[in-house]
Amino acid sequence: MAREAINRQPGLSTELEEMVLASTAVSTHIRQCVFSVPGIRCGSCMRSIEQSLHSMEGVSQARVNLTNRRVTVQWNDGAVVPAVAERLASLGYPSQLIESAAEGDDKQLSYLIRALAVAAFASGNIMLLSVSVWSGADLATNHLFHWISAIIALPAVAYSGQVFFSSAWRAIRHAATNMDVPISIGILLALGLSCYDTLWNTEGAAVYFEAPVMLVFFLLIGRTLDYLMRDKVRKAVDGIARLEPSGAWIEQQGGRTVFRALADIEAGDCLLIAAGDIVAVDCVVVSGVSELDSTMVTGESIPVPVQSGDQLLAGTRNVSAPLRAKVVARAADSHLAKMIALIQSAELTRSTQRDWPDRISRWYAPVVHSAALFSFLGWYFATSNVHQSITVAIAVLIITCPCALGLAVPMVQVVVVRRLFESGILVKDGSSLRRLAKVDTVIFDKTGTLTTGNVRLVNADSVESSHFQLAASMARFSLHPFSRALLKTYEAREDADLQSGVEAIEYPGLGLLWSDGDCLYRLGRASWAIHAENTVSSSLCGVPHVTSTGDELSRSVLALNGNFLAEFQFEDSLRADADSTIDELKAARLPIECLSGDNAGAVASCIDRLAIDRCSADVLPADKVARLDTLAAAGKRVLMVGDGLNDAPALSAAYVSMAPGTASDAGRNSADLVFTANKLSAVPQALSMARSAERSIKQNLVFALLYNAVALPVAVAGLVTPLIAALAMSASSVIVMFNALLLNYKRLNYGSGRWLCKSLNRSAQGFSRVTEGQQSA
């Protein structure tokens, strides 16, 4: 259907055809593609694009993501991609399909830095010349310095102001407006009037070349900081795609094997999966016994035994022995493909969020335009002096320039991001800090998040020394996590001395077997080690079918001829500061949950040591997203902390998310913040800093609005010149930056540490007892 629709579009390139056909199929009749639109600047841009695209025939949904400047379009039957690109271009927003967007150096950032340097150089030199003029130089010298200022200002503004002029021109050309329109008008009017007075040497006229150049300089500071924060494009889908192998070995009729590309694998094919290989597509085991590492997909921390009839999910890894499996779904319909769809759906939902500084742009430009126009008209009718009327209008445009407003958010974000970076916390998107400050619920994954993901032996002291020695000697012949943990613990003992002559054989999914004459030793699952048939011949002739229980997945048994000798218990180690982190979050009155794909026994043993309000085991990725959706529908703003591939959809769907540096690529790319230090305390630290940043942002925004509320009537009254207006605007920007820099002295902890947490807990308990007493009374 897509190919037929494309063929009906004349002049469509082959490359674009492939892009359209490669677009994500959201469902049977709905398709999706993503455009990169670098020209998106503010909330008004988002609003105009979404409204225009929604009006197109066939488009079912259009969402703009201001953070990464992308437009996601979903449409029904037909080829609307060329029409969408044309519509975006007609609105003044050139676009590219995201697959065809060029990789390489960041040209936009390079331009902003160069423009900022040019504006800084020009404003500094013009200010030096202006000082000489203000100091009372003679008329000829003043006129000369005005010409020199003009020679410096004109090319500087023409080059450095391009980012504002081009944005304003696109808006005006399409009968729209944005925050760059009044900025551009103020700059051009101030520059034009100064050039007029210099050219005609108007007697007694003041020249204000420093005003537009300083305006451009401070605006570029805000624009560059904002660009640095917003140009962090998430690559969660790419991270998941890297888990997919390029293809797999297929067994054909007659036993011949061929390597087939992933897209060419069909349901019913016979897949050969070697030990260590990643499962390419969803399939069912036909023959073989092995163990499956599902950590990246389901969160299961312990390898799960698989045998004939068991299902394998794409993205899991075969650990022990070769397997033959029958393909049950193509790659496009696999477990990984469904997770990609979940992440894309979550990103669409998140892109609908709006920050109120962006909403200010809806009324800012019309208000400023109206104030400048009425000022000009009022002064002209009152004085009939065109020059003075234009000067007042310029002063109104300059003094109300949104420099402080533009710096209010990005300056705070840059300071906070640097502070968090120094503490090992990476922030990928400045807007995530604002969301983090509003969090009222925290959800943790277990494996690799609350725990280290490393299995350890917990009952070594209770095991008889000779049994421990024998088990460690057998464990040398296995790479199973339990075997490595057992051997590591034994070798750490001072009296460690491995038994010689031990030659164990590993049975994948079951355990290790060693025959010493009439003695048959087994180390592994209890249901296999303590078995009815205990002779050497019966044990070596075949592998019994064993059904595992949750309890067996966390222990191994050493047996002699089917008789119990010793038990080894294992657990996933908690992070050293997990308990203190939970204490700090609970002291802040934040409800805490745990959603884990691990088995119930492993989850229970972990949660018993932590005061977590609610926990769930055997949770699938879709179930995690469903839980987040339920909480969001109830008005909750959830912080999701996870690490695995199975957490990637939930990390994307959450209001805001964090992941440890040891997380999977998909987990790190889906998260808004990543903490590289091996400390879970990064979570309350980031929360504390985000809330401090939010307070500073609100202070800056309130100051910026109050400044404009006071400055506007003063400028309208003609009490300030364009130069004074530029200085006032610069002073407001400096104050905003100074307030942001105060965050450098903010302590990176939540409250006052453990002492405060315990004090608050005791106070809460006391308050609860008092309340209960009052209710009883």
Distance CA 34, CA 99 (A): 8
Q: How far are the Cα atoms of 372, 440, 502 from residue 114, in angstroms, in the given order?
A: 31, 42, 70
Amino acid letter at 632?
A: A
Q: Is 751 within 8 Å of 588 (Cβ atoms)?
A: yes
Q: How far is CA 698 from the centre of its chain?
A: 23
The residues annotated as belonging to the active site are 445
Q: Is 260 within 8 Å of 287 (Cβ atoms)?
A: no
Residue 258, strand partner residues: 250
Closest CA to 646 of 244, 316, 245: 316
Buried b (16+ CB within 10 A) or exposed e, 164-201: bbebbebbbeeebbbbbbbbbbbbbbbbebbbebbeee
- Cβ neighbours of 2 (radius 10 Å): 17
Half-sphere exposure (CA, 13 Å, Cβ side) for 633?
Answer: 6
Specify the 3-state DSSP secondary structure of 258: strand
Distance CA 31, CA 29 (A): 7
Dig out the tokens for 261 from the structure. 């590309």
Spell out the residues 6+ positions from residue 303 whose beta carbon is closer than 8 angstroms to its own: 291, 292, 293, 294, 319, 320, 480, 481
Distance CA 753, CA 580 (A): 9
The string of DSSP letters for 456-508 reads EES-GGGS-HHHHHHHHHHHTT---HHHHHHHHHHHTSTT--PPTT---EEET
Dig out the tokens for 225 from the structure. 């900081």
